[in-house]
Amino acid sequence: MKIAYRWLLRYLPLGQKGWPSTLNAEEIARILTSVGLEVEQLSSFSSIPGGLEGLVVGEVEAVWKHPQADKLQLTRVHIGNGQSLQIVCGAPNVAVGQKVVVALPGTTLHPVEGEPFQLKKTKIRGEQSEGMLCAADEIGLGTDHSGILVLDPSAEPGAPLTRYIEVFHDQVFEIGLTPNRMDAMSHLGVARDLCAYINHHYQFRGALQWPDTAAFPETGLDPSPIRIQIEDPDACLRYAGLLIEHVQIGPSPAWLQAALTSIGVKPINNVVDITNFVLHECGQPLHAFNADAIAGHEVRIRKARSGEHLLTLDGKDRVLHPEDLMICDAREPMCIAGVLGGTHSGIQDDTRHIFLESAVFHPRFIRQTSLRLGLRTEAALRFEKGVDITRVPYALKRAALLIQELAGGQIRYQPVDVYPTPQNQPEVRLRKTYLTALSGKTYPDKQVEPLLQDLGFGLVSSNDQEWVWQVPPFKHDVRQAADLVEEIMRIDGLDQIPIPAQITITPAHHALHVRENLRDSLSSFLVAQGFREIYTNSISRSQLYTVYPETQVVHLLNHLNAALDVLRPSMLENGLECVAYNQHHRNEPIAFFEFGKTYHPDGEKGYREREFLAIWLAGNLHPIWWAEPETPPKAYGWFFMKGVAENLLQLSGIHRFQFRPASGHPRLKPLMEIIAPEKPVGMLGAVDAETCAALDLQPPVYYVALEWEKLVEARTQHQITYQEIIPYPVVRRDISFLIDKQTPYARIEEILQNSQAPYLKAWNLMDVFESEKLDPGKKSCTISLFFQHPDRTLTDEDVEQSLQRIVQHLGNQLQIILRK
């Protein structure tokens, strides 16, 4: 949100009741940030880019033809103080005696089109040029490039151009507004916090300066010829309107255009600009209708009917939904309430009578229509968060007086204000001991009461124990005592909370729940292996999941962003976007993990969530090293990822598991299913080439997804056992054998596990060898076997008996052939 500095100063009691006569922008930025309105940027603004700096008035003394160019002329221009310059000019309208705009060498010009550039003294076709005679478009004053800009004959040579052309300068605060602070979505709202802060910290009693509407005629007005009928009072909470006659549509005055432009609002015409000005001044959206286009002199606020449509101001013919709240005349819709107006009732250059609307609509109806149509207008943003319903008449009168002043409008008729169910403001009870306990500071009554009153709260009652405060209608986020404490603390300053020299506490230890304990263990392991945890959004883009059946994807009905429209059915894609981003920025190697949920339709049950631990790997495990420059970088591989998955399973208490080849995933090829011991607990795969190309990934990229609930279940059932370290030596034996190429290593491990060979402690695959010299369809495997006895040193005979049993089992079940 943008707030203009000079615009903001209008509403502060500067120079009154001890207040300073002015406040600099840097001090205001500091104060706003301290009260929760974080100023993310403070920038300068000029109504004309560059502010016409360096441009002066010149008088053309002589003009003659350029000797080396047919379309160029040489001029001698007087710029004051007896100084004249020779300037080459190509404009056809240059003539002796003209007062012109001169850009001196060193001046930076800001043309309407193109980038700014600095003017230098130069030679053009061999003739010296000591400046430039400027056209309107070359200095940001318009689009005319037919010739140089000719000034009034009374202009004084050598005077700065800013003496004759007014330039508005300002500074603009870019505020990162949090969603709960709708009360600060205006200049007066920001000024309220600023005023409260200065009153509290400097002991002033200045009041917020609301623009005066006393000039609005309260008597002697005729009844309005336009009737207002609210057909849906649940959706339209209040609606006020005023007929204003004999307006003259035209450009707004320069000050109004500059104010709007400074905060990024494009000026349109005086009436529309006034409604935008009042919106950003006090936070109340307004809309102006062409009164002559209101059929039947009747305004109806109702829901859209089936088949109705409206051509909106953005030029789109929009089909309306039965839940859309509409502003209609006696025949047809004129405006989508609180969102966008229609063209046929909009303000045109020939409009002479306008009907000015000031209303409050229920946030839910505005939000759902705005999201469905993808229209995030300034009015919709305020209505969907809630506006001050008591300010509806004020904003109407404020805008009417400005239209009377700037557009010649005549106020002849009474305003019509329909308020079906007046709202009562809630009251909040705040105990003084609660304020002290929650804030950590003792606040005297003489500080609390004026502070909250400056923020708009009304004191209902007070005694030694508590206050009762009435919440103002613009504070929709204040509903309980803790909210009042927050208001006091943010104005007083969180840095004002005293920190004691000593803090006495009784340490307490609470064992982590199994779920949290396991998450901590697995996270610590992954971080120690070089992984980094990421957090991605559960709400994602449907374009990422077109490879999945529609029955597996949960679509959002009211998504906040047109691109974020589904709940992710898989963890894979969001992480791949992070991988691609980091690859593009050369942040390698890439090793990410995330604990997250996926979402799926579930028939009659509606929807179900599944939680996963997901891991992504890409890039080089070992980059180029100076000590071994000839060794190429080693990339993360399939077996590294498999080892990580195995370690995670073992840390979770799963010690018996298998990796089985699988298929069917639309993005992972090859794919392994992880079975432990009989049920699937996850998957391991490599992202296929098609997906890598679509997401601009550099392969290979590996992915593991482990089902979190099954890991937690295993950890819950796992019993840790302890035993003494065996002091007797381990005996190793290596065996090599031929086996069918199609036999997976997991099958060998399964047989070794079930062999019940005495003293067998562990095993390890050392080598796999394939060659044309071997039997067709065979491969050679070498496995190291490790034997150990808990009570004594093993003899060769012990080891040999156990080894023969293992060979026998492998031979019987896998038909291995021992190699000598």
Binding residues for Mg(2+), as ranges, are 477, 483, 486-487
339 and 379 Cβ atoms separated by less than 8 Å: yes
For every residue of 774-808, DSSP letters joined together read SPTTEEEEEEEEEE--SSSPPPHHHHHHHHHHHHH
**Could you give the CA distance from residue 766 to residue 764 in angstroms, rounded to a whole number?**
6
E strands in 257-343? 286-290, 298-303, 309-311, 317-319, 325-328, 333-336, 340-341
Q: Which residues of 714-741 are buried (b: 16+ CB within 10 A; e: fewer)?
A: bbeeeeeeeeeeeeeeebebebbbbbee
Which H/E stretch holds residue 504?
Answer: none
Phi, psi of 211 (to 5 degrees): -55, 135
Strand, helix or coil for residue 2:
strand
CB count within 10 Å of CB 625 equals: 9
Q: What is residue 265's DSSP assignment?
A: P
Q: Which of left, alpha, beta for 438 (phi over 0: left; psi -120 to 50: alpha)?
A: alpha
Look-up of token digits 């005066």: 212
Q: Which amino acid is at 280?
A: H
207 and 19 Cβ atoms separated by less than 8 Å: no
For every residue of 150-209, DSSP letters joined together read BPPTTPPTTSBGGGTS---EEEEEEEE--TT-GGGSSHHHHHHHHHHHHHHHHT------
Q: Which of left, alpha, beta for 611 (phi over 0: left; psi -120 to 50: alpha)?
A: beta
**Could you give the CA distance from residue 440 to residue 363 in angstroms, rounded to a whole number?**
36
699 and 681 Cβ atoms separated by less than 8 Å: no
Written in H, E and C, the secondary structure of 557-597 is: CCCCECCECEECCCCHHHHHHHHHHHHHCCCCCEEEEEEEE
Strand, helix or coil for residue 809:
helix
**Could you give the CA distance from residue 195 to residue 19 in angstroms, rounded to a whole number?**
10
- Torsion sign, CA atoms 587, 589, 590, 591: negative
* Residues tagged in the binding site annotation: 477, 483, 486-487
CB count within 10 Å of CB 18 equals: 13
- The distance of Cα 25 from the centroid of its chain, to the nearest Å, equals 26
CB count within 10 Å of CB 220 equals: 7
* Contacts for 605-611: CB closer than 8 Å, 24+ residues apart: 607/554, 610/707, 610/709, 611/707, 611/708, 611/709
For every residue of 294-314, DSSP letters joined together read -GGGEEEEEEPPTT-EEEBTT
